[in-house]
Amino acid sequence: MSFQRVTLIVLDSVGIGAMPDAADYGDAGAHTLKHTAEAMGGLSLPGLERLGLGRVDVIAGLKAVSGSGAFFGKMAEASPAISQWPVVVSLAGVVSERPPKLYPKGFPPELLAAFEAAIGRPTLGNVAASGT
C-alpha cells in the first residue's frame, strides 16, 4: 500500500490504556480517556469518532464508526520510560534501551547552579510536575 500524503494525529497525554509495565511507574490502571469519559458521563468527539477513535477501545459516548477511510491505532512505548520524550522520538524510530534519568525531587543543586550561571539568571520552581 502506498500513500501520497499522511496526516498523523498524536493525542499527546491522552492515554488509552496502561502499558504492561505501568505498575513499575505507579500507573497501574491508567486510562486517561476512559476515566475522563466516565467522569463526564460520556464524551462527544464526532470528528475523532469518524477517524476511528471509538474503534481503538470502548469509551463511554464514542461509537465504533467504520468506513471512514482513516487508519487508526494505539501506540505502545518501545523505550523503557514514563517520560513523553521517548514516546515522541520513537515515532521517528529512535528507541532507547534504558530509561532517562528522572529527578522527582528536582534537579541537583550543582546542576542547577551551573545552568543558572550559563543562562545568567535564577530559575523558578525546580519541582517535578506534569508537562501537560
Domain boundaries, the chain: 1-97, 101-132
pLDDT along the chain (132 residues), means of 10: 83 82 85 95 94 92 84 80 74 81 88 97 87 52
- Cell numbers at 127, concatenated: 519541582
Kindly list the distances between the CA atom of residue 103 and the CA atoms of 10, 64, 79, 109, 128, in Å, as whole numbers in the listed order.
Answer: 26, 40, 18, 12, 7
Q: Enter the DSSP assignment of 4.
A: S
In the chain, helix, strand, coil percent, each to 5? 30, 0, 70
Nearest to 45 by CA among 35, 27, 59, 25: 59
CA atoms within 13 A on the CB side of 36: 12
